[in-house]
């Protein structure tokens, strides 16, 4: 099993769940495996904390956090993994089957920061916009004739697999000495013969959102694209920053860089008038 500190570093996030009984079933599954941090985003039912299905876990349900948005729910997390299926959408981030995702999640638990496992609504799962906050999509292998799972069952299966992978020890998830880097940077460092590389803690999701917002302001000030393209640019920036996975230090440097650029652009006036 995971250590208590590792379990405390994992947030289970439910986005817009409809049925309070499903929320209670999630709380029960979390208690089965020793997890306690539950966040519910924009629930449909106002009295979901009273779900009778939270057998053995009423305190977990009462202490759960409620937020208005997924961005708020994962703001403090340095790694966010969404769950779902490719049956109805084409993901824009890496997709791993749950057994293959276990070692990746355990790697992130070995690093500073928090992790979020995000589950979508019962009817349609996570939306394209929801997934833009995720660095990874986890797919639970199921029969193609019935790809969807009950919300409580999906959470139970994921937490079981994560706990099972942790029991295998550190050897299976040893990546060869390049630590703290996204996959493409790991490969580059290995080719260059850098050996062990430590780039410091990862950026939180909230910090990446602040950087994305600043870049968007800079693009607007520079007349980069018409207003109608701004929502698409915002979505693409969220995806890009999570794909690059900059360290907290690198993110602070980029924030300073774009603040300076934006200051100069605003000081110079509309670039289209020059």
* Same domain flag for 134 and 215: no
Is 116 in the same domain as 144?
A: yes
Structure confidence at residue 11 (pLDDT): 97
Q: What is the pLDDT of residue 25?
A: 95
> Same domain, yes or no, for 134 and 216?
no
- Minimum mean pLDDT among 41-55, 82-96, 99-113: which range? 82-96
Q: Supply the angle between the helices 151-167 and 98-109 in degrees, to the nearest 10.
A: 60
- What pLDDT is stored for residue 88 in this prediction? 67
For residue 159, which of 1, 273, 274, 47 has the smallest C-alpha distance? 1
Domain count, the chain: 2
Question: What CATH number has the domain bearing residue 58?
Answer: 3.40.1280.10
Same domain, 217 and 155: no
Q: Are residues 34 and 165 in the same domain?
A: yes
Q: How does residue 149 score in pLDDT terms, banded at 50, 70 and 90? A: confident
Same domain? 230 vs 101: no
* Shared-domain flag, residues 14 and 74: yes
Q: Where among 121, 141, 173 does a domain terminate?
A: 173
**Spatial distance between the Cα atoms of 185 and 244, rounded to a whole number of angstroms:** 9
State whether 165 and 181 are in the same domain: no
Beta bridge partners of 112: none
Kindly tell me if the per-residue pLDDT of 136 is higher than 50. yes
For 231, the domain range is: 176-274
* 23 shares its domain with 127: yes
Per-residue model confidence (pLDDT) at position 124: 85
How many whole angstroms separate alpha carbon 208 and alpha carbon 255?
10
Q: Are 120 and 126 in contact (CB under 8 A)?
A: yes
DSSP the chain: ---HHHHHTEEEEEES---HHHHHHHHHHHHHTT---EEEES-S-TTGGG-TT-TT-HHHHHT-EEES-HHHHTTTEEEEEEE--SSS---SS-EEEHHHHHHHHHHHHTSSSEEEEEE--TTT-S-HHHHTT-SEEEE----TTS----HHHHHHHHHHHHHHHHHT-SGGG--SSEES--HHHHHHHHHTT--SEE--SBPPHHHHHHHHHHHHHHHHHTT-S-GGGHHHHHHHHHHHHHHH--BHHHHHHHHHHHHHHHHHHHHH--GGG-
pLDDT beyond 50 at 172: no
Residue 8 pLDDT exceeds 70 = yes
Q: What is the pLDDT of residue 111?
A: 87
Q: Are residues 185 and 139 in the same domain?
A: no
Last residue of a domain, one of 156, 173, 190: 173
Q: Is the pLDDT of residue 180 over 70?
A: no
Say which residues have a Cβ less than 8 Å from residue 97's Cβ, sequence separation at least 6: 138, 139, 140, 141
Name the pLDDT band for 122 (thresholds 50, 70, 90). Answer: confident
> Does 195 score more than 80 pLDDT?
no
Examine the domain organization and report whether 262 and 194 are in the same domain.
Answer: yes
Q: How much is the pTM?
A: 0.84
Mark which of 173, 197, 221 sits at the end of a domain.
173
Q: Are residues 38 and 74 in the same domain?
A: yes
């Amino acid at each position: 099993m995971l250590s208590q500190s590792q379990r405390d570093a994992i947030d289970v996030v439910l986005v817009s769940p409809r049925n309070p009984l499903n929320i209670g079933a999630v709380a029960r599954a979390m208690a089965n495996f020793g997890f306690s941090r539950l966040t519910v985003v924009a629930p449909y039912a106002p009295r979901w904390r009273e779900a009778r299905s939270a057998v053995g876990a009423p305190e977990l349900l009462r202490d759960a956090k409620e937020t208005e948005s997924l961005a708020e729910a994962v703001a403090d997390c340095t790694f966010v993994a969404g769950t779902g299926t490719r049956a109805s959408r084409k993901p824009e981030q890496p997709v791993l089957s749950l057994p293959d995702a276990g070692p990746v999640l355990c790697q992130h638990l070995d690093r500073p920061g928090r992790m979020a496992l995000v589950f979508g609504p019962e009817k349609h799962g996570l939306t394209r916009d929801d997934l833009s906050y995720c660095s990874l999509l986890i797919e639970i292998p199921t029969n193609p004739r019935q790809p969807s799972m009950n919300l409580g069952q999906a959470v139970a299966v994921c937490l079981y697999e994560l706990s099972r992978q942790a029991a295998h020890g550190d050897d299976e998830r040893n990546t060869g000495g390049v630590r703290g880097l996204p996959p493409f940077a790991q490969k580059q460092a290995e080719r260059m013969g850098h050996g062990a590389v430590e780039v410091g803690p990862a950026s939180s999701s909230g910090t990446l959102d602040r950087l994305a917002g600043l870049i968007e302001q800079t693009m607007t000030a520079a007349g980069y694209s018409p207003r109608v393209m701004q929502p698409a640019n915002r979505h693409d920036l969220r995806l890009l920053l999570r794909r690059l996975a900059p360290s907290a230090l690198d993110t602070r440097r980029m924030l300073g860089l774009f603040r300076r650029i934006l200051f100069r652009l605003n000081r110079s006036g509309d670039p289209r008038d020059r």
